[in-house]
Structure 1
Amino acid sequence: MKKVLSAFLLLSFIILFSQEKKPMFWQDIQSFKKSDQEHTPPADAILLIGSSSFTKWTDVSSYFPNKTIINRGFGGSRLTDLNYYANDLLNPYQPKQIIIYCGENDFADNDQLKAKEVVNRYKTFYTKIREKFPDIEVDYISIKYSPSREKLWPQMKKANKKIASFMKKEKNAEYIDITKVMEDAQGNVRKDLFVEDMLHMTPEGYKLWTSVMKPYMK
């Protein structure tokens, strides 16, 4: 009996320590890989990469019926996550355009984070894109000002301004500002464009995004 118990404990110990702890969002990336294996990704598509504002836009193709779109938004990802999984997010595809929405969660993850650091994280990811796709269109959607994160707005606004300036100097690159269209006549962020958590958007919010994004879509 003691031998059986010892063997069981030893086996449990081996299993416990042989299971490598998976990095954050690992499962999301595996889901993308599985999807790509089951359905070959179309070439010359518009590739969306970013956080939950893309993840939750599950019907994005219906907003752009004449476009071929691959949505690779995942969880509450940060720019650090985009950099970590860059190969997985870029290598399987041959897009004609990449549109990024990310950076909001970087500030939410660390409310002491400065705009300069977020901008540097974005530049790192942008460089990774250019190493693989030197000539395609690359666009960045401005960080939206979610009501639930109002205390982070000052640094978000600085980051938006710096990224806009950076993208203006780049070839085949655009900064897509969705902040204005989400304001009311008095210049206040429209809370009715957000669901109960005051973070994620309603269909009307996505409709407004669509109106701004369309002129930039290849």
Structure 2
Amino acid sequence: MSDAGTLLVTGSSSVRIWNSIHKDLAPYQVMQRGYGGARMADFSYYADRIIKPHQFKAIVIFVANDIAGVESDLTPKEVFRLYKDLVKQVRKRNPATPLCWIEVTPTPKRWNVSQEIQEASGLIETYCNKHDDLHFISTFDQYISPEGLADSTFFKKDMLHLNRDGYLQWAGIIKTYLEEASIEP
């Protein structure tokens, strides 16, 4: 697979366990590089191994473990600072490649910290809106139930990872965004 025509989809376990990613994101050619427990600091540190050896049509990133309702959580401002650091790392090797950030999808398991997650997402979205080569793929509203909570019908029993319907929803959101941003297959 030629890197220049390939979409790199990378990030945490939600990317790693997306078994139908190639089918779901077709006709895009996809290189899938995810690992469980990915956090922004680790991801930025390992950018050389994950992203920089290659040139891609676009890079799509989903990292969702920095605000998880645990003692080691980062603040929204810390997540934003690490996002900007990651952008700098990616830009060293891929200066013109579109960089797309998938908003952290609301999950039932982490609903108790959804306000902090949304705050971090808001900072990243505002930053992306100021840069032509940075893209923010909004997912929040599409995973909210009519009751205003994270919609459990999109998640596996762990209430953290997407099920088949959740991935189909995600794929539709991602492909629609890429098409609207003129990132063609």
TM over 0.5: yes
CA distance in structure 1 between the aligned counterparts of 2:73 and 2:6, rounded to whole angstroms: 37
Larger % of helix: which? Answer: 1
Q: Give the residue type in structure 2 aligned to 1:161.
A: G
CA distance in structure 2 between the aligned counterparts of 1:83 and 1:197, rounded to whole angstroms: 27
Q: Does 1:172 align with 2:133?
A: yes
Which residue of structure 2 lines up, in the alignment, with residue 198 of structure 1? 159
CA distance in structure 1 between the aligned counterparts of 2:113 and 2:119, rounded to whole angstroms: 10
- The Cα of 1:111 is off from its aligned counterpart by 5.2
- The Cα of 1:124 is off from its aligned counterpart by 0.4
- The Cα of 1:76 is off from its aligned counterpart by 1.2
Q: Does 1:157 align with 2:118?
A: yes
CA distance in structure 2 between the aligned counterparts of 1:110 and 1:96, rounded to whole angstroms: 38
Q: 1:70 to 1:112 in 2, by over 3 A?
A: closer
Higher relative contact order (CA 8 A, sep 6+): 2
Q: Does 1:215 align with 2:147?
A: no
Secondary structure of the equivalent of 2:65?
Answer: helix
Identity of aligned residues (%): 28
- The Cα of 1:91 is off from its aligned counterpart by 2.6
Which residue of structure 2 lines up, in the alignment, with residue 107 of structure 1? 67
Secondary structure of the equivalent of 2:105?
Answer: coil
Alpha-carbon displacement from aligned partner over 1:81-108 (angstroms, at most 9, x marks no partner): 1111110012321101001101x21122
Q: Quick check: 143-152 or 60-69, which moved more? A: 143-152
Q: Which residue of 133, 141, 144 corresponds with 2:102?
A: 141
* TM-score relative to the length of structure 2: 0.90
Q: Give the residue type in structure 2 aligned to 1:117.
A: E
Q: 1:110 to 1:140 in 2, by over 3 A?
A: farther
**Root mean square deviation, CA, Å:** 1.6
Which residue of structure 2 lines up, in the alignment, with residue 30 of structure 1? none
* TM-score relative to the length of structure 1: 0.77
Alpha-carbon displacement from aligned partner over 1:120-150 (angstroms, at most 9, x marks no partner): 1111001111121111111100011211112
Q: Give the residue type in structure 1 aligned to 2:152.
A: K
- The Cα of 1:62 is off from its aligned counterpart by 0.4
Instruction: Flag structure 2 segments of 5+ consecutive residues without an equivalent.
Output: none
Preserved CA contact (<8 Å) 2:40 2:82: yes
> What pairs up with 1:11-160 in 2 under 5 angstroms?
42-102=3-63, 104-108=64-68, 110=71, 112-160=73-121
Instruction: Name the count of aligned residue pairs.
Output: 178
CA distance in structure 2 between the aligned counterparts of 1:191 and 1:52, rounded to whole angstroms: 18
Preserved CA contact (<8 Å) 1:111 1:152: no
Alpha-carbon displacement from aligned partner over 1:8-63 (angstroms, at most 9, x marks no partner): xxxxxxxxxxxxxxxxxxxxxxxxxxxxxxxx664321001210110111220101
- The Cα of 1:215 is off from its aligned counterpart by 2.3
Q: Find the structure with the greater CA-based Rg.
A: 1
Preserved CA contact (<8 Å) 2:107 2:151: no
Instruction: Flag structure 1 segments of 5+ consecutive residues without an equivalent.
Output: 1-39
Secondary structure of the equivalent of 1:76?
Answer: coil
Secondary structure of the equivalent of 2:4?
Answer: coil
Structure 1 consecutive aligned stretches of length 4 or more whose deviation exceeds 4 Å: none
Alpha-carbon displacement from aligned partner over 1:63-85 (angstroms, at most 9, x marks no partner): 12211100111111101111111
Preserved CA contact (<8 Å) 2:111 2:150: no
